[in-house]
Amino acid sequence: MFMRFVHYHVQADRVVDFRRRYEEVSIPTLKTVHGCLSATLIESVGGVPECVSMTLWESKEAAEEYERSDVFRTLLESSRPFLAQSSEWKIQLTQDLRLEYQPVADEPVVEAFEVMSLRDGEEIPKGDTLFVRIVSPQVRAESVAEFKKLYLEQILPELRRAPGCRYAYLVENSAGEEKLLSVSIWNSLQDAEAYEGSGAYDLLTSKVQHTFSRLLQWKMQLEKEKNSQIVTTEDTSVKGYSVVVGRKFV
């Protein structure tokens, strides 16, 4: 199977409208697309409003055919009125030779992943209180194979036994970027937080810590009044999303 994520940074005052559009337009449209098994809209918990369309496909070929289609382009285009202005700025020279700074609307980010750890008959669930947790480890290129082996053999079984964890997947970027994600779906935010607070996450992470790179990330952001630089060093990033709406098509 194959999983796609489309990330949208939505204007704070348009989130409710974006949810309604996804439920009333995107889901019925995706239901008609060959090979699409389910569509779920998840929303970031805290921080900048981020909505992610998470779709499951019967094959990589079906997902790629959809991405080349007019249907995908139409859905993508219809999302633009809801998108936030990004922290990137475009500088242009006006006709009277004045410099103008114009914010650029965020473009949706599309990511595609092979599902490596889906069990027979397993599918993405839906529910009012479900919580999706996505962990993105930074793994050294030479250690990717070792990481996947350790994850599938040692981490995944323990994660699936954690109280409140319904499903867990290891997915791998299909574009050859060696990006891996651990995607888990929980009965509630409280269950996911209890898992992290129990020390189980740290214990499982320690099993693969030696495969991580030390990645120093420089993030530059242009603010309204001043320039700022944020420096972070992290081997993994963890994001939490609540499930807003989801439909299974088969």
Write out pLDDT tens, residues 26-42.
999 999 999 998 898 98
Low-confidence spans in the chain with pLDDT less than 50:
118-123, 125-127, 216-233
The answer to whether 21 and 78 are in contact (CB under 8 A) is yes
- Per-residue b/e over 173-210, b at no fewer than 16 CB within 10 Å? ebeeeebbbbbbbbbebebbeebeeeebbeebbeebee
CA 176 to the chain's CA centroid: 17
Residue closest to 206 by CA, chosen among 235, 176, 233, 177: 235
Query: What is the C-alpha separation between 17 and 81, in angstroms, rounded?
Result: 10
With a CB cutoff of 8 Å and minimum separation 6, the contacts of 195 are 162, 163, 164, 165, 186, 201
Token pair for 200: 């189980």
Determine the pLDDT at residue 225: 38
CA dihedral 122, 112, 129, 249 (to 10 degrees): -50
Determine the pLDDT at residue 108: 67
The answer to whether 106 and 86 are in contact (CB under 8 A) is yes
Backbone angles phi, psi at 29, to 5 degrees: -70, -50
How many Cβ atoms are within 10 Å of 102's Cβ, its own excluded? 10
**pLDDT (tens digit, 9 = 90+) per residue, 4-17?**
888 888 888 898 99
Domains of the chain and CATH, by start: 2-248 (3.30.70.100)
